[in-house]
Protein backbone atom coordinates (compact mmCIF):
# COMPACT_ATOMS: atom_id res chain seq x y z
CA UNK A 1 0.00 0.00 0.00
CA UNK A 2 2.93 2.34 0.54
CA UNK A 3 3.21 4.89 3.35
CA UNK A 4 1.63 2.43 5.72
CA UNK A 5 3.59 3.70 8.69
CA UNK A 6 1.84 7.06 8.42
CA UNK A 7 -1.65 5.60 8.17
CA UNK A 8 -3.77 5.81 11.28
CA UNK A 9 -7.39 6.47 10.40
CA UNK A 10 -9.28 4.15 8.11
CA UNK A 11 -12.84 4.31 6.81
CA UNK A 12 -14.15 1.10 5.25
CA UNK A 13 -17.33 1.14 3.15
CA UNK A 14 -18.97 -2.20 2.46
CA UNK A 15 -21.75 -3.23 0.09
CA UNK A 16 -23.67 -6.33 -0.91
CA UNK A 17 -20.57 -7.94 -2.46
CA UNK A 18 -19.04 -8.64 0.96
CA UNK A 19 -22.06 -10.76 1.91
CA UNK A 20 -22.43 -12.48 -1.48
CA UNK A 21 -20.28 -15.46 -0.47
CA UNK A 22 -22.46 -15.87 2.63
CA UNK A 23 -25.35 -16.55 0.26
CA UNK A 24 -27.10 -13.17 0.38
CA UNK A 25 -28.14 -11.89 -3.04
CA UNK A 26 -26.58 -8.69 -4.34
CA UNK A 27 -28.84 -6.05 -5.90
CA UNK A 28 -27.46 -5.55 -9.38
CA UNK A 29 -26.21 -7.93 -12.03
CA UNK A 30 -27.35 -11.41 -13.01
CA UNK A 31 -29.67 -12.93 -10.42
CA UNK A 32 -29.54 -9.72 -8.36
CA UNK A 33 -32.49 -8.71 -6.24
CA UNK A 34 -33.41 -5.77 -8.49
CA UNK A 35 -33.73 -8.16 -11.41
CA UNK A 36 -36.37 -10.15 -9.53
CA UNK A 37 -38.23 -7.18 -8.01
CA UNK A 38 -38.81 -3.65 -9.21
CA UNK A 39 -37.34 -1.08 -6.82
CA UNK A 40 -40.47 1.03 -7.28
CA UNK A 41 -42.66 -1.87 -6.07
CA UNK A 42 -40.85 -2.72 -2.85
CA UNK A 43 -38.25 -0.14 -1.87
CA UNK A 44 -39.85 3.30 -1.86
CA UNK A 45 -42.16 5.12 0.60
CA UNK A 46 -44.71 5.34 -2.22
CA UNK A 47 -44.70 1.56 -2.64
CA UNK A 48 -45.32 1.14 1.09
CA UNK A 49 -48.22 3.60 1.02
CA UNK A 50 -49.73 1.88 -2.02
CA UNK A 51 -49.30 -1.77 -1.03
CA UNK A 52 -47.98 -2.22 2.52
CA UNK A 53 -48.60 -5.98 2.51
CA UNK A 54 -46.42 -6.55 -0.57
CA UNK A 55 -43.62 -4.49 0.95
CA UNK A 56 -43.89 -6.13 4.39
CA UNK A 57 -43.91 -9.60 2.83
CA UNK A 58 -40.78 -8.78 0.82
CA UNK A 59 -38.91 -7.54 3.91
CA UNK A 60 -40.28 -10.34 6.14
CA UNK A 61 -38.74 -12.84 3.72
CA UNK A 62 -35.43 -11.00 3.59
CA UNK A 63 -35.34 -10.62 7.40
CA UNK A 64 -35.95 -14.36 7.82
CA UNK A 65 -33.34 -15.21 5.18
CA UNK A 66 -30.45 -13.19 6.65
CA UNK A 67 -30.88 -15.00 9.96
CA UNK A 68 -30.05 -18.29 8.23
CA UNK A 69 -26.74 -16.92 6.83
CA UNK A 70 -23.33 -16.81 8.44
CA UNK A 71 -20.53 -14.23 8.27
CA UNK A 72 -17.67 -15.17 5.94
CA UNK A 73 -13.89 -14.73 5.99
CA UNK A 74 -14.18 -11.12 4.79
CA UNK A 75 -16.49 -10.09 7.67
CA UNK A 76 -14.20 -11.89 10.13
CA UNK A 77 -11.08 -10.22 8.75
CA UNK A 78 -12.62 -6.75 9.10
CA UNK A 79 -13.67 -7.50 12.68
CA UNK A 80 -10.10 -8.56 13.39
CA UNK A 81 -8.75 -5.35 11.86
CA UNK A 82 -11.18 -3.31 13.96
CA UNK A 83 -9.90 -5.06 17.10
CA UNK A 84 -6.19 -4.94 16.30
CA UNK A 85 -5.66 -1.75 14.26
CA UNK A 86 -3.55 0.81 16.09
CA UNK A 87 -5.53 3.83 14.82
CA UNK A 88 -9.19 4.60 14.22
CA UNK A 89 -11.23 2.30 12.03
CA UNK A 90 -14.83 2.97 11.08
CA UNK A 91 -16.85 0.39 9.19
CA UNK A 92 -19.71 1.98 7.25
CA UNK A 93 -22.02 -0.49 5.58
CA UNK A 94 -24.77 -0.13 3.02
CA UNK A 95 -25.86 -3.63 3.98
CA UNK A 96 -28.98 -4.30 6.01
CA UNK A 97 -27.75 -7.70 7.21
CA UNK A 98 -25.97 -8.09 10.56
CA UNK A 99 -23.03 -10.19 9.39
CA UNK A 100 -20.39 -7.62 10.39
CA UNK A 101 -21.73 -7.66 13.96
CA UNK A 102 -22.01 -11.44 14.07
CA UNK A 103 -18.36 -11.63 12.97
CA UNK A 104 -17.53 -9.52 16.04
CA UNK A 105 -17.32 -5.95 14.70
CA UNK A 106 -18.80 -3.47 17.13
CA UNK A 107 -18.89 0.07 15.77
CA UNK A 108 -20.60 -0.52 12.43
CA UNK A 109 -22.67 2.32 10.92
CA UNK A 110 -25.63 1.02 8.94
CA UNK A 111 -26.28 3.90 6.56
CA UNK A 112 -29.18 2.08 4.86
CA UNK A 113 -30.68 0.74 8.10
CA UNK A 114 -31.05 -2.86 9.18
CA UNK A 115 -33.39 -5.79 8.59
CA UNK A 116 -33.24 -6.65 12.28
CA UNK A 117 -34.98 -3.51 13.48
CA UNK A 118 -38.58 -2.43 13.25
CA UNK A 119 -39.24 1.31 13.29
CA UNK A 120 -42.47 2.76 14.63
CA UNK A 121 -43.69 5.62 12.45
CA UNK A 122 -46.09 6.53 15.27
CA UNK A 123 -43.71 7.15 18.18
CA UNK A 124 -40.33 6.89 16.35
CA UNK A 125 -39.11 4.03 18.59
CA UNK A 126 -36.85 1.34 17.14
CA UNK A 127 -37.01 -2.25 18.31
CA UNK A 128 -34.85 -5.24 17.55
CA UNK A 129 -37.11 -7.42 15.40
CA UNK A 130 -36.45 -10.95 14.20
CA UNK A 131 -40.00 -11.99 13.31
CA UNK A 132 -42.53 -10.76 10.78
CA UNK A 133 -44.41 -7.46 10.40
CA UNK A 134 -47.08 -8.45 7.88
CA UNK A 135 -49.63 -9.21 10.61
CA UNK A 136 -49.33 -5.59 11.85
CA UNK A 137 -48.08 -6.27 15.40
CA UNK A 138 -48.38 -3.41 17.92
CA UNK A 139 -45.35 -1.27 18.68
CA UNK A 140 -44.00 -2.46 22.07
CA UNK A 141 -43.58 1.22 23.03
CA UNK A 142 -46.84 2.95 22.01
CA UNK A 143 -49.12 0.08 21.03
CA UNK A 144 -49.90 1.44 17.56
CA UNK A 145 -49.80 -0.90 14.57
CA UNK A 146 -47.37 1.37 12.77
CA UNK A 147 -44.14 -0.62 12.51
CA UNK A 148 -42.16 -0.65 9.27
CA UNK A 149 -38.79 -2.11 8.32
CA UNK A 150 -35.96 0.13 9.56
CA UNK A 151 -34.49 0.16 6.09
CA UNK A 152 -33.74 3.30 4.09
CA UNK A 153 -35.83 3.34 0.92
CA UNK A 154 -35.11 5.17 -2.30
CA UNK A 155 -36.01 8.81 -1.80
CA UNK A 156 -35.22 8.67 1.93
CA UNK A 157 -32.17 10.12 3.66
CA UNK A 158 -29.43 7.64 4.61
CA UNK A 159 -28.56 7.45 8.30
CA UNK A 160 -25.48 8.75 10.12
CA UNK A 161 -24.24 11.03 7.35
CA UNK A 162 -22.69 13.56 9.74
CA UNK A 163 -20.64 10.91 11.51
CA UNK A 164 -19.60 9.41 8.19
CA UNK A 165 -18.38 12.72 6.75
CA UNK A 166 -16.59 13.54 10.00
CA UNK A 167 -14.74 10.21 9.72
CA UNK A 168 -13.95 10.83 6.03
CA UNK A 169 -12.47 14.21 6.93
CA UNK A 170 -10.03 12.52 9.30
CA UNK A 171 -9.29 9.48 7.12
CA UNK A 172 -5.84 8.55 5.87
CA UNK A 173 -7.24 5.61 3.93
CA UNK A 174 -10.65 4.91 2.44
CA UNK A 175 -11.41 1.35 1.39
CA UNK A 176 -14.50 0.32 -0.58
CA UNK A 177 -15.44 -3.36 -0.52
CA UNK A 178 -18.07 -5.16 -2.60
CA UNK A 179 -20.11 -2.25 -3.84
CA UNK A 180 -21.05 -1.34 -7.40
CA UNK A 181 -20.83 2.41 -6.84
CA UNK A 182 -24.31 2.90 -8.28
CA UNK A 183 -26.08 4.49 -5.31
CA UNK A 184 -25.30 7.94 -3.90
CA UNK A 185 -24.26 9.32 -1.49
CA UNK A 186 -22.11 6.21 -0.77
CA UNK A 187 -20.86 6.14 -4.36
CA UNK A 188 -19.41 9.63 -3.84
CA UNK A 189 -17.40 8.81 -0.70
CA UNK A 190 -14.31 7.90 -2.75
CA UNK A 191 -14.20 11.37 -4.33
CA UNK A 192 -14.91 13.06 -1.01
CA UNK A 193 -12.19 11.05 0.72
CA UNK A 194 -9.58 11.65 -1.93
CA UNK A 195 -10.32 15.39 -2.09
CA UNK A 196 -9.84 15.41 1.68
CA UNK A 197 -6.42 13.81 1.25
CA UNK A 198 -7.01 10.10 1.89
CA UNK A 199 -5.56 7.26 -0.13
CA UNK A 200 -8.30 5.18 -1.72
CA UNK A 201 -8.50 1.46 -2.37
CA UNK A 202 -11.21 -0.65 -3.98
CA UNK A 203 -11.66 -4.38 -3.32
CA UNK A 204 -14.37 -5.79 -5.59
CA UNK A 205 -15.13 -8.77 -7.77
CA UNK A 206 -14.91 -6.54 -10.83
CA UNK A 207 -14.14 -2.90 -11.46
CA UNK A 208 -17.03 -0.81 -10.10
CA UNK A 209 -18.64 2.14 -11.86
CA UNK A 210 -16.42 4.54 -9.93
CA UNK A 211 -13.30 2.41 -10.14
CA UNK A 212 -11.27 5.11 -11.89
CA UNK A 213 -11.63 7.37 -8.83
CA UNK A 214 -9.56 4.99 -6.69
CA UNK A 215 -5.78 5.14 -6.31
CA UNK A 216 -5.78 1.35 -6.45
CA UNK A 217 -8.33 -1.28 -7.43
CA UNK A 218 -7.99 -5.00 -6.76
CA UNK A 219 -10.37 -7.52 -8.32
CA UNK A 220 -11.43 -10.82 -6.78
CA UNK A 221 -13.82 -12.40 -4.28
CA UNK A 222 -14.06 -10.60 -0.96
CA UNK A 223 -13.25 -13.74 1.04
CA UNK A 224 -9.80 -13.74 -0.60
CA UNK A 225 -9.07 -10.03 -1.06
CA UNK A 226 -10.16 -8.77 2.35
CA UNK A 227 -8.20 -11.21 4.59
CA UNK A 228 -5.10 -10.63 2.43
CA UNK A 229 -5.45 -6.83 2.72
CA UNK A 230 -6.02 -7.06 6.50
CA UNK A 231 -2.86 -9.16 6.85
CA UNK A 232 -0.94 -6.47 4.94
CA UNK A 233 -2.28 -3.70 7.16
CA UNK A 234 -1.50 -5.53 10.40
CA UNK A 235 1.93 -6.61 9.18
CA UNK A 236 2.81 -3.03 8.16
P1 LIG B 1 -24.73 -4.03 -5.81
O2 LIG B 1 -25.52 -5.27 -6.02
O3 LIG B 1 -25.10 -2.83 -6.59
O4 LIG B 1 -23.18 -4.31 -6.09
C5 LIG B 1 -22.50 -5.39 -5.51
C6 LIG B 1 -21.06 -5.35 -5.97
O7 LIG B 1 -20.38 -6.42 -5.34
C8 LIG B 1 -20.87 -5.53 -7.49
O9 LIG B 1 -19.95 -4.57 -7.99
C10 LIG B 1 -20.29 -6.94 -7.61
O11 LIG B 1 -19.36 -7.07 -8.68
C12 LIG B 1 -19.58 -7.10 -6.29
N13 LIG B 1 -19.46 -8.50 -5.84
C14 LIG B 1 -20.30 -9.54 -6.06
N15 LIG B 1 -19.86 -10.65 -5.46
C16 LIG B 1 -18.69 -10.32 -4.85
C17 LIG B 1 -17.74 -11.05 -4.06
N18 LIG B 1 -17.89 -12.34 -3.79
N19 LIG B 1 -16.66 -10.37 -3.61
C20 LIG B 1 -16.48 -9.05 -3.87
N21 LIG B 1 -17.35 -8.33 -4.60
C22 LIG B 1 -18.43 -8.94 -5.08
O23 LIG B 1 -24.77 -3.74 -4.22
P24 LIG B 1 -24.43 -2.38 -3.45
O25 LIG B 1 -23.34 -1.64 -4.13
O26 LIG B 1 -24.25 -2.74 -2.02
O27 LIG B 1 -29.76 0.24 -1.22
O28 LIG B 1 -25.78 -1.59 -3.61
C29 LIG B 1 -25.90 -0.34 -3.01
C30 LIG B 1 -27.33 -0.12 -2.57
O31 LIG B 1 -28.22 -0.34 -3.67
C32 LIG B 1 -27.84 -1.10 -1.53
O33 LIG B 1 -27.48 -0.74 -0.22
C34 LIG B 1 -29.31 -1.04 -1.70
C35 LIG B 1 -29.35 -1.11 -3.21
O36 LIG B 1 -30.48 -0.62 -3.83
C37 LIG B 1 -30.97 0.35 -0.63
O38 LIG B 1 -31.73 -0.58 -0.53
C39 LIG B 1 -31.26 1.72 -0.12
CA dist 134 to 57, 63, 122, 145, 148, Å?
6, 12, 17, 10, 9
Take atom 26 of ligand 1 and give the residue whose Cα is closest.
15
Asked whether 95 and 151 are in contact (CB, 8 A), the reply is no
Whether 110 sits among the annotated catalytic residues: the reply is no
Peptide bond into 185 cis (omega under 30): yes
* Mean pLDDT value of segment 133-147: 97
CA–centroid distance, residue 27 to ligand 1 (Å): 6
Asked whether 55 and 72 are in contact (CB, 8 A), the reply is no
Instruction: Give the nearest ligand 1 atom to 94 CA.
Output: 33
* Mean pLDDT value of segment 76-88: 97
Confidence band, pLDDT 50/70/90 cuts, at residue 14:
very high
Confidence band, pLDDT 50/70/90 cuts, at residue 12:
very high
* Mean pLDDT value of segment 114-121: 98
- Lining ligand 1 with CB less than 6 A are 15-17, 20-21, 26-28, 32, 43, 94, 112, 152, 178-180, 182-183, 204-206, 208, 221-222
How do residues 165-224 score in pLDDT, each as one tens digit?
Answer: 999 999 999 999 999 999 999 999 999 999 999 999 999 999 999 999 999 999 999 999
Report the C-alpha gap between 202 and 101 in whole angstroms.
22
Q: Which of 75, 100, 112, 115 is catalytic?
A: 112
Element (H, E) at 175: strand 173-177
Q: Report the share of the chain in percent with pLDDT over 70.
A: 98
Q: What is the pLDDT of residue 5?
A: 65
pTM above 0.85, yes or no: yes
Q: What is the CB-side half-sphere exposure of residue 201 using CA atoms within 13 A?
A: 18
Amino acid sequence: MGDMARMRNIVVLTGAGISAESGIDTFRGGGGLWEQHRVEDVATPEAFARDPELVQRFYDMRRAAVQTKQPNAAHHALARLEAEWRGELLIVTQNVDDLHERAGASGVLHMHGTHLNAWCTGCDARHRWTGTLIEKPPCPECGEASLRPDVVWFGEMPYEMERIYAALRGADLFVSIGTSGAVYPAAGFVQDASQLGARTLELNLERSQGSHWFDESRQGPATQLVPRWVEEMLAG
